[in-house]
Chain A
Amino acid sequence: MNLNATLFAQLVVFLILAWFTMTFVWPPIMKALDERAGKIADGLAAADKAKADLAHAEKMASDELRKARESAAEFRAGAERQVAQLIEDSRAEGARIVNAAREAAEAEAGAASQRAKEVLREHVAALAVAGAERILRKEINAQVHAELLTQLKSEL
């Protein structure tokens, strides 16, 4: 445990080593550490941005989907309305045709019954005349009694 000049030699070595570390060791390591910290920060920022982009894209996709769904619904509603209109139109057309047919049939039937009535009247008049002839055993002059017969016919 003696003190001697080793002390000063050690002091000088100490300062030289510290200088060496300051010049050649510390700056490159700190530079690498700072650069890596920067890279990590950039990476995290990029990840955040990607996450935001993804959220944006998802929102856009869901918007598009909703829009498509809405327009499809609209389209279907339009088609349904059109179909309903068509059904309504054809139903009305059908009803109109049915009505027209019934009216025509009714008119036909009326005319036929009128004609039948006419024929019946004729027959009744002839029958009445024939009956009267038989009762009177005497021929009735048709021309003479035409007026009478016509009157009778119209009364039937």
Chain B
Amino acid sequence: MATEHAPNASEYIVHHLTHLNSLGHKQAALVDWTVFHLDTLFWSVTLGLLAVLILARAASKATSGVPGRFQAAVEILVEMVESQSKSIVHGDRSFIAPLALTVFVWIFFMNAMDLLPVDLLPRLWEGAYAVTGHDPAHAYQRVVPTADLNATLGMSLGVFLLTIYYSIKIKGIGGWTHELFTAPFGSHPVLYPVNFAMQMIEFVAKTVSHGMRLFGNMYAGELIFMLIALMGAAWAGTFGSGLLWVGGVFAGTIWAIFHILIITLQAFIFMMLTLVYIGQAHESH
């Protein structure tokens, strides 16, 4: 890139929004089940392992005596998740409560990648490309897994499968089928197709909105960080560009502080909706 011209704003954004995938170039089709996003997989698995290992470390050292600060912090988290799950899900929570804890901590960690400087890891990746003799212009790297629709829809699909599992487990296959055709409008043969259609719409809407909500928030947040970075990059030695640079610092600070709230809130919302959807599988209409 040193020999070429610096990217313009549009190229900068497009470059930042392109995933490192198994094709090596941008995926052409909207849906292609043969492709993997290597960056999303790497960061989500790494952060997931980091999250559960931190929790496991706290768990292995947990004592019933006076807790240290680390243990107390993890315990606050666990008690929060436990009380939320207890109030939402009525039934056996031996898997559901740990699931909610995993969801919260993992998504928080993935969201928190947004707080790293937006160019830091991609620029290091470009450097690694350049060193190994590849073209850094094709060194794509996106470090926020939750800003990838595949990751968020993957998790919401997991929640969807769990709701089906718990629906069948709690109500039995017959009870659940009966519910699919008789709820929400009532048990009458004329209403069966309407009920079934409503149930299907509900499932699709819940699952898609569950994944899309997190994706949309993180994608938009990442995009705004890029725009702020562009603002800061406008520095060219003139007074006007200097003002833009100051504005970039100012806006970057404000947005990052606000984003602390967003990443926590979105992780919490995803966890709460996970509990609500699985909780609904436990209640009969």
User: Which residues does A use to contact B, with CB under 8 Å?
Assistant: 1-11, 13-15, 17-18, 20-22, 24-36, 38-39
Contact = CB atoms under 8 A, between A and B. Distances in A.
B31 A11 contact: no
B63 A6 contact: no
B89 interface: no
Nearest to B219: A1
A50 to B, nearest CB: 21
Contact of B99 (A9, A18, A30, A32): A18
B119 interface: no
B55 A36 contact: no
Contact of B102 (A4, A10, A17, A31): A17
Contact of B157 (A11, A17, A21): A11
Interface in B117-149: 145, 148-149
A28 to B, nearest CB: 4
A2 B219 CA distance: 13
B55 A25 contact: yes
Contacts of A32: 62-64, 67, 71, 75
Contact of A2 (B35, B64, B157): B35
A4 B34 contact: yes
A4 B35 contact: yes
B65 A36 contact: yes
B154 interface: yes
A24 B54 CA distance: 11
Interface stretch (B44-52, B168-176, B192-200, B248-256): B44-52
A28 B95 contact: no
B52 A20 contact: yes
A26 B74 CA distance: 11
B51 A17 contact: yes
B101 A4 contact: no
Contacts of A31: 62, 64
Contact of B52 (A17, A33, A34): A17
B36 A4 contact: yes
Contacts of B155: 10-11, 14
Contact of B64 (A4, A6, A8, A36): A36
A22 B52 contact: no
A3 to B, nearest CB: 4
Interface of chain A, helix or strand or loop or mixed?
A: helix
Nearest to A26: B98
Interface string B146-162: 00111101110110010
Given A14-B155, A20-B102, A25-B101, 8 more contacts: A2-B30, A3-B153, A4-B21, A4-B32, A4-B33, A9-B154, A21-B52, A21-B102
Contacts of B202: none
A29 B62 contact: yes
Contact of B150 (A4, A18, A25, A33): A4
B79 A33 contact: yes
A25 B99 contact: no
B56 A24 contact: yes
B44 A2 contact: no
B218 to A, nearest CB: 12
B150 A3 contact: yes
B272 interface: no
Contacts of B19: 2
B78 A33 contact: yes
A11 B211 CA distance: 12
Interface in B1-46: 19, 21, 27, 29-37, 40-41, 44-45
A93 B146 CA distance: 118
B94 interface: yes
B48 A17 contact: yes
A13 B30 contact: no
A12 to B, nearest CB: 8
A7 to B, nearest CB: 4
A9 B33 CA distance: 11
Given A1-B149, A11-B154, A33-B79, A6 B59 contact: no
